[in-house]
Amino acid sequence: MLIRIGYDIELAFKAPGAPTALIYMLQVHPTHEDGLLGGEHITVTPALRTDHYIDAFGNHCGRVHVDAGVETVRLRNEALIHDSGLPDIQDPGAIQWSQADLPVQTLRFLLPSRYCEVDSQLLDFAWKRFAHTPPGWVRVQAICDFVHHHLRFDYQRARSTRSALDAFRERTGVCRDFTHLAITLCRCMNIPARYVTGYLGDIGVPAAPYPMDFSAWFEVWLGHRWHAFDARHNMPRIGRIPLARGLDAADVPITMAFGEHTLKRFEVVTEEVSGPAASAWSQASSVSWKSEAPGFQ
């Protein structure tokens, strides 16, 4: 399967007289970039110097040097990426390891973080609610089932400061809130869990009645690998394309501008491309990429 991905994001700076910086995490994660056809077509308007680096979690990052006098910065991208076309892998037999036997690189994903208060009243709740479930896959799925039914999805109630405990109490939120609460409950039960942000289109499911957006889900360490779970949709999905991973949303901001700013434009595209259209897009992409790539990679 081929999936067309991309975005058009524009930020307006309220104090353009001073130089500042804009950090973005808007490139396909290194673990999935081999599937890209011709790479990504990232443009920054106006043409500003951009530093590219890999952060502590292995995510692609860019830092745009916003010069004094620049009033708006526009980030655009388009790409075509291969996907297996299969739903998320299901492995009900994947085991849960004791803390003493976990790979050491997973241990930090057991700890409290900005939006995931493992050391709160959620710890006591988690053990009362899920201790009776079999450890491993069944327990994680039980956590997803609980979060999926406990929270009500509502774009109008989105709030950037809402933590897992807030979501638990308020019983509403968006995909990041579902994800934070599920991650926290997993960590309470000693299951390493990490936050993922990325593309997730309406492939194989009815189209959502609102504009496309980036999505959030989480991964847990069971057996010998990370597995994707999604408390918001609570079903295997096709076409997850991660951009960044971290302890929670604080580690993976799509954009982070230093200084007062507003969002002028936010458009995201994630859709399956098939047949002659895919072939034509791929050929055009290859030609365009050869001419544009040196300035952006």
Interval 208-267: pLDDT, tens: 888 889 999 999 999 999 999 999 999 999 999 999 999 999 999 999 999 889 999 999
The reply to whether 224 falls in a domain is yes
- As for how many domains the chain has, the answer is 2
Is residue 162 domain-shared with residue 262, that is, in the same domain?
no
The reply to whether 262 falls in a domain is yes
The pLDDT score that the predictor gives to residue 283 is 55
DSSP assignment string, 74-133: EEEEEEEEE---PBPP--TTPPPPPTTTS-GGGGGGGS-BTTB-TTSHHHHHHHHHHTTS
pLDDT in tens, 2-27: 999 999 999 999 877 789 999 999 99
Q: Could you count the other beta carbons within 10 Å of the beta carbon of residue 286?
A: 13
pLDDT in tens, 78-127: 999 999 999 999 999 999 999 999 999 999 999 999 999 998 899 999 99
pLDDT in tens, 35-86: 999 999 999 999 999 999 999 999 999 999 999 999 999 999 999 999 999 9
Whether pTM > 0.85 for this model: the answer is yes
Judged against a pLDDT cut of 90, whether residue 187 lies above it is answered with yes
Is residue 232 domain-shared with residue 111, that is, in the same domain?
yes
Looking up residue 29, the CATH number of its domain turns out to be 2.60.40.2250
Is residue 109 domain-shared with residue 227, that is, in the same domain?
yes
Q: Could you count the other beta carbons within 10 Å of the beta carbon of residue 205?
A: 12
- Are 251 and 244 in contact, with CB atoms under 8 Å apart? yes
d(CA 205, CA 104): 38
Is residue 114 domain-shared with residue 72, that is, in the same domain?
no
The pLDDT score that the predictor gives to residue 280 is 57
Question: Residue 70 belongs to what domain range?
Answer: 2-85+253-295
Joined tokens for residue 104 = 């050491």
The pLDDT score that the predictor gives to residue 293 is 31
Judged against a pLDDT cut of 90, whether residue 295 lies above it is answered with no
pLDDT in tens, 149-175: 999 999 888 899 999 999 999 999 999
Looking up residue 113, the CATH number of its domain turns out to be 3.10.620.30
Is residue 116 domain-shared with residue 53, that is, in the same domain?
no
- Are 234 and 144 in contact, with CB atoms under 8 Å apart? yes
